[in-house]
């Protein structure tokens, strides 16, 4: 089955990340980081099929060496919280051979990254199969800082000064010139990412069409495609390995619930669509013919079944089915096709409402998972922060800070994410876990509501079946009556 996955994130020091480590992992190599003074060895990593560095024309030739390139990037970035590289993770297609996949991915990287002046470190992975399904994909690391025409590193941003009506620079209350930081490239823009996502989708689909493969991928979200489906969470290699070994994880359990809910909603929607299409087809016909109401059809169906019954037991079973169907119609006040149509639309709206609630719950559970992870980072690292703040001698404090820089960076990054992204003012891990438990309990209750709606839908479909059987039998009876009539 064709798969679309196109994910991009930043490699940044503020998150305790090293671009040398990232490059070593993706290439399955051993690389030394001059910035951190450490070796990152991923030579035992399996599943790396192809690696290469693609350079724009103005790049120094020595950047074709992975260790030289990324140490140069680390050296160019002075800030301890610097953003170092973009990291792309893009799914390849099982419908294509690996050689075709590599050629397609390489062409995409060349046309959409390298031709725009980006240095691209390109690696193709084919890890172990997940649930028997291959998962080929490729990674691209691109430097965030552009190159000048002479091959030196350029600026990510430039200052654009605010000017008055005379074209003079404006100063603020402190006497400093007012300016806006303007990016020198559009690589960070959401619109650029959307163009890349669409371009990869178009390139894959063109390849499918060229080879006569019917499969297609779509870069749009489920919502944009009009697909009423709850998106699953990205599990990552660690969670996938644990699940593969039979170790249940929170993300795995969440995805299992999401997939089961999506299957249930899809099945109900499919039945609803069939019922609505049938009602639309027969409503006008029944109205013109002034046909009997639905209860009369049930009685006709019962008589028709009894006519072919061979035993009292069969007749008793037919009567039981009639009683159940009639009780359903009476309890729901459904006696005409118009009423059946109205209640079908009401049922569809109820399913939509439940699906929207499930989608909102899933989104909140995902958000709480992220919040709890960052909050636990803060709780775990807090003793280190407290110890650092208790050191008043500058030299000792700086030495302690250097020894724990990664944890300290993670602490403040976690704080910023919770405050700026999630609006968290106070850490309350027990409260968040309690909210998650409540949300999961709500989904248990909602599952029973889905079952109730599905049962009602099945009863409606049973009424539809009875009417269809009677209408199918009527032409036969008419032919039999004509055949039995005396000939003149």
Q: How far, CA to CA in Å, does 144 sit from each of 89, 111, 139, 148, 206?
A: 16, 17, 16, 13, 30
Regarding whether 79 and 123 lie in a shared domain, the answer is yes
The answer to whether residues 39 and 130 belong to one domain is: yes
Can you give the length of the chain in residues?
488
352 or 480, which is more confident: 352
Q: What is the mean pLDDT of residues 328-341?
A: 73
H or E stretch covering 164: none
Name which of 79-93, 231-245, 315-329 the model is least confident about. 315-329
Residue with tokens 């709606």: 453
pLDDT at 152: 92
Indicate the burial class of 289 (C-beta count within 10 angstroms; 0-12, 13-18, 19 or more).
exposed
142 pLDDT above the threshold of 90:
yes
Domain check: are 269 and 410 in the same one?
Answer: yes
Residues 308, 332, single domain; the answer is: yes
Query: Are 146 and 185 in contact, with CB atoms under 8 Å apart?
Result: yes
Q: Given 198, 219, 240, which residue is the final one in a domain?
A: 219
**381: how many CB neighbours lie within 10 A of its CB?**
20
Q: Does residue 163 fall inside a structural domain?
A: no
Q: Using a CB cutoff of 8 Å and minimum separation of 24, what contacts does 279-287 make?
A: 279/337, 279/340, 279/341, 279/344, 282/337, 282/467, 282/471, 283/337, 283/338, 283/341, 286/337, 287/337
Q: 415 lies in a domain?
A: yes
Residue 213 has a CB neighbour count (10 Å cut-off) of 15
Rounded CA-CA distance 15/374 in Å is 11
pLDDT band at 430 (very low <50, low <70, confident <90, very high): very high
Nearest of 462, 273, 255 to residue 351 by alpha carbon: 273
Residues 6+ apart with CB under 8 A from 110: 54
Strands 137-143 and 179-183: unpaired
Domain termination residue (choose one: 194, 219, 244): 219
Same domain flag for 209 and 76: yes
Assess if residue 175 is contained within a domain. no
> Could you tell me if 94 and 4 are in contact, meaning their C-beta atoms sit under 8 angstroms apart?
no
Q: What separation in angstroms does the CA of 410 have from each of 21, 338, 398?
A: 17, 62, 17
Q: Note whether 82 and 139 are same-domain residues.
A: yes
Q: Which pLDDT score, from 0 to 100, does residue 306 have?
A: 55
Q: Are 132 and 212 part of one and the same domain?
A: yes
CA 45, 68, 50, 145 dihedral sign is positive
Q: Which domain holds residue 94?
A: 6-151+186-219
Q: Which two tokens stand for residue 331?
A: 């309890």
Q: Are residues 343 and 469 in the same domain?
A: yes
pLDDT over 60 at 227, yes or no: no
Do 141 and 255 reside in the same domain of the chain? no
CATH number, domain with residue 21: 3.30.930.30
Average pLDDT of the chain? 80
Token code pair at residue 166: 């005379």
Is residue 487, in this structure, part of any structural domain at all?
A: no
Mean pLDDT of all residues in 444-452: 87
Number of domains in the chain: 2
User: Is the predicted pLDDT of residue 247 greater than 90, yes or no?
Assistant: no
Question: Residue 173 falls within a domain, yes or no?
Answer: no
Top pLDDT among 74 and 186 is at: 74
Final residue belonging to a domain, choices 195, 219, 243: 219
- Residue 390: inside a domain: yes
Query: Does residue 165 have a pLDDT over 70?
Result: yes
Task: Find where tokens 């397609």 sit.
Answer: 104
Helices (H), 390-428: 394-403, 405-416
Q: What are phi and psi of 169, to 5 degrees?
A: -65, 145
Q: What is the pLDDT of residues 350-384, one digit of tens each?
A: 888 888 888 888 889 888 988 898 899 899 999 99
- Cβ-based burial of 26 (10 A; exposed 0-12, middle 13-18, buried ≥19): buried
Tell me what pLDDT residue 86 has.
Answer: 92
| Helix/strand/coil percentages in the chain, nearest 5 | 60, 15, 30
- Which of 204-218, 416-430, 468-482 has the least mean pLDDT? 468-482
Q: Is 212 in the same domain as 236?
A: no
Q: Establish if 159 belongs to a structural domain.
A: no
Residue 260 shares a structural domain with residue 203: no
Tell me if 1 is assigned to some domain.
Answer: no
Q: Are residues 399 and 457 both part of a single domain? A: yes
Q: What does the block give as tokens for 340?
A: 């059946």
Q: Is the pLDDT of residue 27 over 60?
A: yes
């Amino acid at each position: 089955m064709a798969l679309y996955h196109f994910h991009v994130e930043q490699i940044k020091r503020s998150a305790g990340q090293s671009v040398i480590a990232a490059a070593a992992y993706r290439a399955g190599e051993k690389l030394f980081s001059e910035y951190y003074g450490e070796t990152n060895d991923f030579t035992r990593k399996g599943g790396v099929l192809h690696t290469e560095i693609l350079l724009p024309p103005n790049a120094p030739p020595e950047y074709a060496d992975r260790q030289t390139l990324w140490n140069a990037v680390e050296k160019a970035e002075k800030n301890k919280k610097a953003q170092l590289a973009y990291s792309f993770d893009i799914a390849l297609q099982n419908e294509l051979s690996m050689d075709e996949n590599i050629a397609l991915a390489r062409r995409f990287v060349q046309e959409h990254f390298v031709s725009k002046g980006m240095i691209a470190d390109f690696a193709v992975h084919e890890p172990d199969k997940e649930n028997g399904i291959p998962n080929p994909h490729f990674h691209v690391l691109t430097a965030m800082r552009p190159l000048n025409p002479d091959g030196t590193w350029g600026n990510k941003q430039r200052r654009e000064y605010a000017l008055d009506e005379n074209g003079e620079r404006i100063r603020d209350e402190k006497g400093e010139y007012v300016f806006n930081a303007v990016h020198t490239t559009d690589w960070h823009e959401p619109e650029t990412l959307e163009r890349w996502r669409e371009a990869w989708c178009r390139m894959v689909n063109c390849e499918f069409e060229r080879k006569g493969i019917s499969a297609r991928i779509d870069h749009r979200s489920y919502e944009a495609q009009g697909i009423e489906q709850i998106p699953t969470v990205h599990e990552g290699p660690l969670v996938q390995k644990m699940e593969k070994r039979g170790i249940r994880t929170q993300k795995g359990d969440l995805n299992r619930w999401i997939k089961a809910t999506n299957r249930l909603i899809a099945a109900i929607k499919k039945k609803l669509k069939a019922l609505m299409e049938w009602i639309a087809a027969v409503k006008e016909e029944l109205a013109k013919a002034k046909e009997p109401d639905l209860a009369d059809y049930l009685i006709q169906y019962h008589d028709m079944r009894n006519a072919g019954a061979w035993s009292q037991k069969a007749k008793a079973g037919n009567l039981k089915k009639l009683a159940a169907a009639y009780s359903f119609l009476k309890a729901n006040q459904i006696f005409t096709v118009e009423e059946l149509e109205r209640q079908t639309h009401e049922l569809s709206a109820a399913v939509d409402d439940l699906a929207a609630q499930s989608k909102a719950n899933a989104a909140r559970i995902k958000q709480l998972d992220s919040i709890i992870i960052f909050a636990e980072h803060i709780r775990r690292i807090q003793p280190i922060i407290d110890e650092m703040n208790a050191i008043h001698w500058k030299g000792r404090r700086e030495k302690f800070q250097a020894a724990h820089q990664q944890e300290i960076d993670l602490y403040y990054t976690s704080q910023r994410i919770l405050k700026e992204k999630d609006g968290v003012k106070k850490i309350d891990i027990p409260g968040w876990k309690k909210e998650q438990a409540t949300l999961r309990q709500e989904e248990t209750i909602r599952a029973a509501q889905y079952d109730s709606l599905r049962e009602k839908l099945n009863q409606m479909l049973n009424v539809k079946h009875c009417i269809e059987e009677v209408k199918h039998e009527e032409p036969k009876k008419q032919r039999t009556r004509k055949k039995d009539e005396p000939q003149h």
